[in-house]
Structure 1
């Protein structure tokens, strides 16, 4: 009996399988979920992918149905061992990676690996569209198997991206320089940016003028613009024409001949999808797409709210505007309590685009009662700004439209008809909750203190010089919109695509604009010229559609890839043979000599664009920036420079500094002013957009009179 007790004691001393292991992707998500599940669960983070394709080679067996070769990600062996050890001690394993294709693929790979190690331990899958206690507990009560259609769609995406990237990239390595890359989506995005840059560079602004009248109505000053002159819409090309019209109107009485008004209803916008969130955050907050997604991920995974951790928003990768019925009811009840006059009779349901996968809801707050003011007790800075945008957009989407009345007055001054207008709210509607998400102009009401037949005092009639605006360069917001409209990429790919182009130094950000580098232009030219059937929007969109059909189990992706890959492989072989080696041709001889050794300087293409290097390299390592223009003060070279103080701001200055202190914050163009010979620069402001101007403050060529002086 004593021996039996010892044996029993020995058995009880062994660690018992008591807990269920839950595997998520991030530590923040793990901390939040573990608090909801209690002591019978152990929640660990995989820190993203632990099993994936190697980075050093294609790792796709093209001869056997494009089967990919997966390995343990470098540096993740210890993490995989931690997950395995914990899985062996657990009664069950729950795979809870993100609720999208990539998350499903991560769950599949981890589950497949752990199944081999734990044998009989049950493994199931759950997903959380929001990380709140009710949502997590509900999901845990309904575990499911892996959705293999999602895994296959993600597998197909990875394979096709590998085939394109690892087939085209070696061509660039051999013909241009090592370290370059091409990609199915990134190369099309680069083409869009390069095509737009060509339009920007070829655009020549044209001068035109408008005429304004400052009219006194009792204590009010009204500004009106000339709409008709001698019964026709004026086309004023220069200052002389403007002055002629002003002279004809000066001294004439100003009489209000007509006042009319129109009412219009402005409906609220649907709640955010991923692309619309990135666009709005870029426009309203100045966030890059990557920053928006990083902050949104943290809001989704969980924020310490003092007495609890809570995911403040639903999953942030979605292309649907659908809202759950429970969220609709909760929001409608909340609005009826706090904004009864702006609450519609029933919740508003938005139609879902045919192109949307509709796997998830729109991006919304998990609890509508956590207003931005309430959230401000726990979150600050970028997190509060982005949460405020999301909360405002969602709550506004469930409110009544705003009704705006616009008054338009016609004012006759001699042969000229001037028009003034002003708008005001009849009903504020959803704008009641919009603060950060609306511009000051959108929220401001203006009155028009005029009456029909009223005589006004024309205090001033003036001409205003303008220049036609060319096409705008892409920004994070507009390139995301373009990719979405063309059906290229998915919510999870927009931000990584932009960052890849910047990391490869194909594109640079300049005042929020995406500008192709010299290297980017060369890569785009090679790919567009030789592979137009691949580097185009229709092919890429067609591939996205094919991947959606794989998820819907409507197409065999292997047979589709066979039609695409083998002709591409043959085409690359032909181009590899026919395309001239550009390594030497990219270097340009110059008339300059090295100040250190006296050998000729050569213009070379580097990771950051062109630079001048000594031809005696590696014995002589002298380099310098390529001159962008001639200094108008001393004839030296204008080169890019970076300030040594503060935020190291970029500017353009004379190479003869400190003897010559000429500098400008505006980037020189390759054009010179035909009037004074100084160089033209690129300028940008909200009123005129991107435009070219002469750098000479005393020259009027493409130069507004209100531009500040700089230089000397």
Structure 2
């Protein structure tokens, strides 16, 4: 630092990155006068040059807000963890403001799973329709009671945010949350994708050009429809950096046209393919379909079936499949023969996957993109939660149930969802200068000290 006139600090563009940036600023400020904060969301020459061009000063309030979060997490976590060690005589246990309510969700979901055992019938008709209904039914025929036809447009989904990427990687690739984030980190560091810890679906003008080039060259000019989507802060969505699909990327890597600082595995390419398709589809025209809503009478019960009978314009479905099933055209009064009936009893409510839990964390605003995977991994490492062997669903262990019951009974005010929401409000107030962060820390300290004094 003594050998340069200016320093540019380019840690991750999130709240954790701001904290690290401030630490670096404090370390170097005695030796250099000009220290700038810069951000970039992809490791490319253009992005870095733009980051330098749009550099800014260090924002102490952002740092102070992060200090409130970090100190509260540690004071609560360390204090309650020590209590758990004494209570359960196990020094490997831990508690946390976010970790504990997430454990509660998994426990509650398993209870719902066990309570929801239901009878199901799968009925296959002569026209190829197969539908599942609750209850045991074994009809020889069914009758179409009502048919509604409507032409509609279906827009593509927005590009990936961290939670959506983790959820789809869990569902389609069978990857754990932690493994998905490791793969994404590698893809980011090798300049394959943009920054992967984000709550934003926003697409920059650079991103739109990436999609435009690919769509016009590989799919067709008429399919392109640019969308910026929703901006959250300065972040961008997770997207590819180049207009290169997974198949071509593999070829370019093999031919040495593209070189990376670390080798990319089959799993890297599979995750990249998910990210690429989702992003490119988000910049394509809507699909136009003819929807059919049908009411089918089975004995004295009427069941609703919905699907599409015609794809009038494929749009984004060139890249991603429709999640709506295709139906044959039917008419009111039509009598359809039943070909087969299968019956079984199973839970109506499914157990959570890691992806489901991460999606719920996002929905309930608990945790952050940088901590989603770590929270789930910690619950597994502590022995509070385990996975089923085949489908990798999450279930609580006896230890996890005991720990959650103890914490929620005795310290619910410290490990509740409401506590997290209150913390986010406090952090916002610190950032806007409405509250002095040290006053908040004093309140937390006094609250935690009471707990500490109550230890046996």
TM-score by length of 1: 0.56
1:370 to 238, 241, 244: 244
Give the structure 2 partner of residue 361 of structure 1.
236
Q: Deviations over 1:339-367 (max 9, x none)?
A: 222223xx323234xxx4x1311112223
**Is contact 1:209-1:464 (8 Å) kept?**
yes
Q: Distance in 2 between matches of 1:173 and 1:226?
A: 49
**Contact preservation (8 Å) 1:225, 1:418:** no
How much has 1:92 moved relative to structure 2?
A: 4.6
Query: Do residues 520 (structure 1) and 400 (structure 2) align?
Result: yes
Asked if 1:156 corresponds to 2:68, the answer is yes
- Determine the structure 2 residue equivalent to 1:351: 230
Q: CA offsets, 1:101-124, max 9 Å, x none?
A: 2222222223322444xx347543
1:263 paired to 2:168 = no
Question: CA contact under 8 A between 2:308 and 2:327: conserved in structure 1?
Answer: yes
What does 1:412-451 align with in structure 2 at a 5 Å threshold? 423-434=309-320, 438=321, 442=323, 446=326, 448=328
Aligned to 2:95: 182
**Closer, same or farther: CA 188–452 of 1 in aligned 2, 3 Å:** closer
Retained in 2: the 8 A contact 1:224–1:419?
Answer: no
Match of 1:339 in 2: 220
Distance 1:468 1:122, change over 3 A: same
Map 1:10-21 to 2 at 5 A.
none
SS of the residue corresponding to residue 524 of structure 1 reads: helix
Structure having greater relative contact order (Cα 8 Å, sep ≥ 6): 2
- Cα 1:210–1:112, aligned 2, differ >3 Å: closer, same or farther? closer
Equivalent position SS for 2:284? coil
Q: How far 1:315 moved relative to its partner? A: 1.2
Q: Check the 8 A contact 1:314/1:365 in 2, yes or no.
A: yes
Shift of 1:145: 3.0
Q: State the match for 2:45 in structure 1.
A: 133
Alpha carbons 1:487, 1:544 under 8 Å: kept: no
Work out which of the residue numbers 467, 473, 482 in structure 1 matches 2:360. Answer: 482
Tell me the CA shift for residue 426 of structure 1. 1.3
Aligned 8 A contact 1:167 1:572 in 2: yes
Contact 1:407 1:423 in 2 (8 A): yes
* Structure 1 residues 143 and 443: alpha-carbon distance in aligned structure 2, compared to 1, 3 A threshold: same
Q: 1:54-453 alignment to 2 at 5 Å?
A: 87-88=1-2, 90=4, 92-116=6-30, 119-120=31-32, 122-179=34-91, 180-201=93-114, 203=115, 205-209=117-121, 211-213=123-125, 215=126, 222-223=128-129, 237=136, 242=137, 245-246=139-140, 261-302=149-190, 311-329=191-209, 331-332=211-212, 335-336=215-216, 338-344=219-225, 347-352=226-231, 356=232, 358-367=233-242, 369-377=243-251, 378=253, 379-407=264-292, 423-434=309-320, 438=321, 442=323, 446=326, 448=328
Aligned pair count reads 440
- Taking the aligned partners of 1:483 and 1:88, their CA distance within structure 2 comes to 45
- Contact 1:256–1:451 (8 Å) recurs in 2: yes
- Give me the whole-angstrom Cα distance separating, in 1, the residues matched to 2:334 and 2:116: 44
CA contact (8 A) 2:290 2:311 kept: yes
- Superposed counterparts of 1:504-519, under 5 Å: 504-510=382-388, 511-519=391-399
Identify if the C-alpha distance between structure 1 residues 549 and 296 changes in structure 2 by more than 3 Å, giving closer, same or farther. farther
Shift of 1:259: 6.2
Answer 1 or 2: which has greater helix percent: 2
CA contact under 8 A between 1:224 and 1:418: conserved in structure 2? no
- Give the distance between the partners of 1:413 and 1:507, measured in 2 at CA: 42
TM-aligned CA deviation for residue 402 of structure 1: 0.9
Q: Which residue of 2 aligns with 1:51?
A: none
Q: Give the 3 Å change call, closer, same or farther, for CA 561–426 of structure 1 in structure 2.
A: same
**In structure 2, what is the Cα distance between the partners aligned to 1:413 and 1:124?**
70
Contact 1:93 1:124 in 2 (8 A): yes
Equivalent residue of 2:290, what SS? strand
Whole-Å separation in 2 of the counterparts to 1:155 and 1:226: 52
- Between the aligned partners of 1:191 and 1:129, the Cα distance in structure 2 is 35
- The structure-2 alpha-carbon separation of the partners of 1:143 and 1:462, relative to structure 1 and needing over 3 Å to count, comes to closer
Native 8 Å contact 1:193 1:474 kept in 2: yes
Q: Distance in 2 between matches of 1:123 and 1:339?
A: 47
User: Do the aligned partners of residues 425 and 522 (structure 1) sit closer, same or farther apart at CA in structure 2, a change above 3 Å counting?
Assistant: same
CA distance in 1, matches of 2:132, 2:33: 80
Query: Closer, same or farther in 2 for the Cα pair 1:400/1:128, shift >3 Å?
Result: same
Q: Is the 8 A contact 2:120 2:132 kept in 1?
A: no
- What is the CA–CA distance in structure 1 between the aligned matches of 2:184 and 2:408, rounded to whole Å? 35
Structure-2 change in CA distance of 1:294 and 1:545 (3 Å): farther
Q: 1:261 to 1:111 in 2, by over 3 A?
A: same
Q: Secondary structure at the match of 1:190?
A: helix
Deviates more, 1:254-263 or 1:332-341: 254-263
Change over 3 Å in CA distance of 1:450–1:191 after alignment to 2 = closer
Aligned to 1:32: none
Q: Does the 8 Å contact 2:159/2:237 carry over to 1?
A: yes
- 1:92/1:454 Cα in 2 relative to 1: closer, same or farther (>3 Å)? closer
